[in-house]
A and B are shown apart, each in its own frame.
Chain A
Amino acid sequence: MKRRDEVLVGILITVGLVVGVLGTIWLVRGGFSSGYPLYARFKWGAGVKQGQPVRLAGVQIGVVSDVELDPSGTILVKMTVEDDYHVPRNSKAAVVPVGIFGDQEIALIPDEPSMVFFNEGDSVPPAPPTPGIPELTARADTISQRLDDVAKTVQLELVAGGGIADLRKTLAATNELTRQLSGIAAEQSRQLAATLTRFRSTAAAIDSVQLDSTVRNLQQTTRNLAQFTDSLGATTHQLNLVLSKLDKGDGTLGRLLNDPGLYYDFRRLSSRLDSLTLDFKKNPKRYINLEIF
């Protein structure tokens, strides 16, 4: 029994140690294969951390195994690349954001397919940095600066320039106006109430019999108006017929109106009358021969 206990305890401790050590190695090195190192340099503030993935054309081929801060203004990043993968020599390394919360990864971007590869321990040249959170932050700073300017202008105009005092005066005047309007409204309301009261009393005083008689008279008048309207309509209709006949030239009057010969006869007659009148004025004696005695 005691021997069995020793064996079981030994197995458990060994398993615990193996799990702990191998798990740690697996997490630190990105797997149990040793891989080979490649290096890259980036500017300070690139956001590179140990454990971040290294991708070649979108495929994860390793992890960042170490990051060293160089006082010269760069960070030296050691990437452990799995033995199965080879990085084309024309590749460039860039720190690219993953997601929207500032996490980063290292992207190895080859210019074109190549069969010439980096060797163990080589340095991958850096690619031009992509716009990331710092650039967005700088843009936000610019916007913030402009907002600050606007705020200063507002402060200058409203505070230093007395704008707020004016605004307060305006508000006070508005309040006064509102108060007066309220008073007027209250007075009008009071008067309206009084008018309504009078109207109600007047309406109550109207004799319903007289009202009924008036209504009947109104109805009779309306009926009379309707008859008159009917008569007027009939008269209009007959007038229309007469006018129609006139227009067509029917009847004597129609012929008179529509016969152009009569018109020209009248014109000739008028013209002759004019000539006669002129002649009469010029030679009255021709027409009037007054002899007395």
Chain B
Amino acid sequence: MTFGAHYEHRPTEAFPVMQRTGIKFFRRVARAGRGIFAGVGQRAFFVRDVFRAFSEPGTWGGETIRQMRNIGVDSVPLVMIVAGFLGAVTAFQAFYQLFAGVQLSVLGLLVRGSIVLELGPLLTALVLTGRVGARMTAEIGTMRVTEQIDALETLAYDPIAFLVVPRLLAALVMLPVLVTIANATAIVTAWITLITATTATTSDYVTGLRLSFVPFQVIYSVIKAVCFGGAIAVLCSYEGYVTSAGAEGVGRSTAKAVVIASTSILVLDAIVAAMFAQFIAAG
């Protein structure tokens, strides 16, 4: 019997309490790390399957328009309401934080910078995570637990091509559109707020809006929207696709999907900012 073998066969409960606690702690850390990496790997395989499913346009083509309607058109009122209040709040915050001596055109600059570069895409994506992402997870999860996905496979339909690809395409196309509308709405409501509730004038606001503007700032906003749309569709569809344990599992998957998608959106926001923020400054 070797020295190592001696320890291998010794039961953990016989160890001193500190040693036993340390072993349990490191086992849990290892298990959690393994779980995280396994989750990333499973989602990576899922993404690979999604890309493979693009080869079946006959399966996803018809459903895509319906998903665009669900994700895009039906979300317009909610997005506009959120963006409207966002613009008003941003304008108020910007105005009341200015101190004497600062020209009021700074308001336009602040509102444009805050909304187009950050708040417009981010808040729109977070709102859509709740409205669209949760719906995706619940729909696909319900189909999973009621074995409709199994039935699709039985009928030689690729369930990913039929369920996930249309949602992904719809999110990739509709998120930029919704973010653009949200940006425009917020800028307009900020203008209305400033000219009606503060001493700022249209000339001040418009001057600030145009100050140091480069078109890439709009493209930057669209890039963020595309990334957020892809994250919402893939992550929420995946959680629905792997749902188990009946109705309770659907609820758990939905909550998990919203949490993971929201967190991922914030992480993606930081990554996109780190990659592209250097291009948004005017000379």
Contact = CB atoms under 8 A, between A and B. Distances in A.
A16 interface: yes
Interface in A1-39: 2, 5-6, 8-9, 12-13, 15-17, 19-20, 23-24, 27-28, 30
Interface string B154-174: 000000000000000000011
Interface string B272-283: 000000000011
A19 B181 contact: yes
Contacts of B180: 16-17, 19-20, 23
Given A2-B65, A24-B218, A60-B203, A9 B212 contact: no
Given A13-B177, A98-B103, A100-B101, A49 B211 contact: yes
Contacts of B214: 28, 50
B230 to A, nearest CB: 17
B177 A12 contact: yes
Nearest to A60: B203
Contacts of A8: 69, 73
Interface in B170-190: 173-174, 176-178, 180-181, 183-184, 187
B65 A6 contact: yes
A70 interface: no
B207 interface: yes
Contacts of B282: 49-51
Contacts of B69: 5, 8-9
A23 B180 CA distance: 9
A60 B211 CA distance: 14
A246 interface: no
B215 interface: yes
Interface of B is mostly: helix
Contact of B184 (A23, A30, A52): A23
Band of interface residues on B? 35 or more
Interface in B210-252: 210-215, 218, 222
Contacts of B176: 16
B105 interface: yes
A51 B206 CA distance: 10
Given A12-B72, A98-B105, A99-B103, A63 B181 contact: no
A16 B212 contact: no
Contacts of B122: none
Nearest to B75: A12
A51 B101 contact: no
A20 B218 contact: yes
A76 interface: no
A15 B177 CA distance: 8
Contact of B76 (A12, A63, A98): A12
A103 interface: yes
Interface in A26-71: 27-28, 30, 49-53, 60, 63, 67
B66 interface: yes
A28 B187 CA distance: 15
B1 interface: no
A293 interface: no
B211 A51 contact: yes
B65 A99 contact: no
B102 interface: yes
A51 B210 contact: yes
Contacts of B106: 101, 103
A53 to B, nearest CB: 5
Interface string B82-121: 0000000000000000000111011000001000000000
A52 B101 contact: no
A103 B103 contact: yes
Contacts of A12: 68, 72-73, 76, 174, 177
Contacts of B66: 2, 5
10 closest A-B pairs by beta carbon, nearest first, are A16-B177, A99-B103, A5-B69, A51-B210, A20-B180, A9-B68, A51-B211, A8-B73, A27-B213, A16-B180
23 contacts: A9-B65, A9-B72, A9-B73, A13-B72, A13-B173, A15-B181, A16-B177, A16-B178, A16-B181, A17-B180, A19-B184, A23-B183, A24-B215, A24-B218, A28-B210, A49-B282, A51-B213, A60-B207, A99-B101, A101-B102, A103-B103, A103-B105, A103-B211
